[in-house]
Every structure is written in C-alpha cells, then in structure tokens.
Structure 1
C-alpha cells in the first residue's frame, strides 16, 4: 500500500491534472494506493474540484481555515498512518504540479531496499530546476549550504524539499516518540525540523535527483522567505542547545 499526501492551498489550476497523473501512474505500479488531499482553508475552488471527483482512492480532508504547511503535513500523515502496515509507504509532495509523479516508483523502490526516508533532491547530479529565477536559485543554494554546515547528515543535501517517501514503520515510531510535536515548527521550516528529529532516531535517509518543474506552477508561491529564514535561524539556536544532538 502506498499513500500520497498532498497539502493544498489555493491550487485549483493544478490539483486536477496532478490527481489524474497520480491515478494513472500509481495504477500502473501499485495494487493499492490512496491519494490524500489536505485542503488547508483554500479560498478558491480547490476543495470542490477534489470532492466532485468522487473517486474511492481520493480522500479529501478539510482545514476550514488556513493553518500552514506544517499542520497540513501533520494532518495528512496522521490520517495516512491509520490502517497501514510497517512496510507500507507514505509520500508527501507539493500540490502545484512542480513535482513529477513519475519519480514515486524509484523512491518507493529505495524504501523497499531498506531506506527509511527518500528525498527528491534539487542538489544531486542529474537534478534540474526549471523556471526559477537566478536570485531565488542562489538563495536556495545558499540556504542548503548553511543547513548542511549546521546539521550535517550523511546522504542529505536537500533539507527543505517536500517531496519525500517515508517507511510507515519508521514514521510510526517517530509519532510514538514525539507525539504531535513531531511536526511543530511553523511553515516551510517544518521540513528541516522533521529531518533533524529523524536523524536523532537514526533514520537511514538517501536522495534521488529531482527535476523541479517550477515553470508549470500557476499559483503564487506560498513561501514567506523572511519567515523561513528566521525559523531556520531558530533551529540553529536549538542545535547549540543540543536539542537535535
């Protein structure tokens, strides 16, 4: 069984083609799958588009007000951990159609080979970033280098990618250990927080190269760069107090 968690906020233009692609690709590779859309208080037609599909393998979960990426991921993961086996796989990915669903099979295969987490990385040989400005790419690269310096983790270069595959057995242990505070860092920095807590648990984490298709993104970026930088600096402070050691 594989479950795909899609945190969604105002993605009416992207959510339908993404679900169609996922349904086709997963249907070719997996005997059982579920697509879990967490609508995070969207003010557009995202929720209606998903609900009118009326597909048994598509689950819509509603946040009636916007709670942020961290709460959407938490909601999706907690729901997805229900009625699963330890060998099942949960994948998180963006809902704006910038993450190619075709990569899921390779990521899931690496989980089956013994990894606990696989990250689709922008910083591996073979990775490409399409449609992102030079300034944003430089900022992203600089942030990646800083995180690798502060929190070195063998096999990890992309600490903030939301495109990940998790082994259910290991993810269940993380929630058992941390409870809902497993995901408590606000906004996009929650992705870093998750990795640091998994590192503390001894997770085996590796990466595959990602082609980020930002040219296909029609909605505006949800990332508040200033807040993300501040939140990341707060994580650095936590490091010096040995919270993640």
Structure 2
C-alpha cells in the first residue's frame, strides 16, 4: 500500500460523502495504491450510517467506528496507527484543502523529508473565506493570536501548525503517534513538537484553504491554549525526551 488517507469524522453526515468521493475520484486516476481510513469520533447524527454505506461500496475504504467521543487527536492517532500505507496523510472531513495538493508533496518525499505539512502562512498560499463581518474578524484575531503563542512557546520555526493536511512516512508515523498525549484540538502542535524532538525533518508547503463553516468557537480556542501550555510543561519536564 502506497498512500493512506486518514479522515476523522464527528457529526459529518452532510459533507463526508462528498469529501470521500472527491478523494476517490482523484486517487483512482493515480498510478499508486491507496486506502481511505475514516474514523468516527462518537458522532450523534447519521454519520455512521452514511459511512457504512460508503464502506460497502468502496473496496479500499476502511471505517473505524468509535461509539464514544474521544477527541480529534485521539481518532487521528487511531487512524494513523491502523493505516497500512508507506505514506500516511491526515486530512479533514470538510475538504478544506483539496486532495490534489498531494502532488506538490511527492517531490519533497523523494528529497527525503519525513513529514510534509500544508500551510496558509507561506508565500503562494491562498485563503478563501466563507465568513464575513464580525465573525471573520473574530476568527482572524483569535487565529493570529494562537499562531504567535504557538510559535513563542513551542515550535517557533513552523509558520502554520494547524492545517489538517499533513503527510508522514510510515516510519515517522509509527514512532511519533504512540508518544502523543494530547487528544483534542492541540494535538497538531504536539505532533510537530514530537517530530522535531525525534529528529525527523519537516517541510512546510503553501496550500489553498477554503475556510469552511465549522464548529470551532471561543471555548475551543481556550481549550487549545490550555493544551498548548500542557505541551510546554511537558517540554520543560523532559516528557518528550
């Protein structure tokens, strides 16, 4: 198996089918083998039934069903460690970053990078906002504040830690994710801290990101801040050594 695409899903009945079909249409035209690993995180809507139907129709779709909500980080970890691909990509169910960006990643895989991540903070990146007015201002302010705090406290040389489009070699994934301790919104930060600590090299590439209507609110930002502080404390205590 060449590529595994891991997708966490929580209450995604309205968009998960379109996202999966978009990925399948693209990858089915490529000359490498692939699988989709979709992990349900205790959805309360019709996500499970939608995914069961898709699993029966798509031979290389693997559906992992968790009855209880564990957190986005937990199900990404589960998916990464259940995947079989030589390369493992984590992407969101909202399809905010199109799967065709993977083509930009392969040349850097050949150059020997272990982890390649999408970024909207680099020259050449594009952001397409679906929010307007105060909602857009509020999200932009919180987003920038979070970015500066992350860079100041943990990994200063990564411009964008939070985009859900990250490719890992199987070796890197199988060494990094077992050490993951943050299971909710802050897990991306910890994964990159672990990547650096374990000596794997990271390449950050610009992507086009369509900011989708979502569920992230002020409370989620506060929770991420708390997890960020926990990561910093873990660093100071040598927990990642």
Measured in 2, the distance between the counterparts of 1:144 and 1:30 equals: 37
Whole-Å separation in 2 of the counterparts to 1:106 and 1:125: 15
Superposed CA deviations along residues 118-150 of structure 1, whole A, max 9, x for unmatched, are: 111121112233225122122212221222222
2:162 to 157, 160, 164: 160
Paired residue total: 232
- For the pair 1:205 / 2:202, whether they are aligned, the reply is yes
Partner SS for 1:56: coil
**How much has 1:242 moved relative to structure 2?**
4.1
- Unpaired runs of 5+ residues, structure 2, are none
Aligned-residue offset at 1:196 = 0.7
Correspondence for 1:46: 47
- Residue by residue, what CA displacement relative to the aligned partner does 1:193-241 show, whole Å, maximum 9, x if unpaired? 11111111111101111222124x4x53387121111111222233333
* Structure-2 change in CA distance of 1:187 and 1:7 (3 Å): same
> Is contact 1:186-1:231 (8 Å) kept?
no
Secondary structure of 1:28 counterpart = coil
Distance 2:68 2:155 in 1: 36
Hey, what does 2:130 align to over in structure 1?
131
* Larger displacement relative to structure 2 (182-191 or 106-115): 106-115
Q: Which residue of 2 aligns with 1:233?
A: 229
Matching residue of 1:221: 216
How high is the TM-score relative to the length of structure 2? 0.88
Give the alignment's TM-score, normalised by structure 1.
0.87
Output one character per residue of 1:24-72: Cα deviation in whole Å (capped at 9) or x when no partner. Answer: 1111224211011001111111121121122111111000111111110
State the distance in 1 between where 2:9 and 2:52 align: 13
Q: Does the C-alpha gap of structure 1 residues 239 and 31 become closer, same or farther in structure 2, counting only changes over 3 Å?
A: closer
Pick from 60, 63, 71 the counterpart of residue 63 of structure 2. Answer: 60
Choose from 183, 188, 193 the match for 2:190.
Answer: 193
**C-alpha RMSD over aligned residues:** 2.0
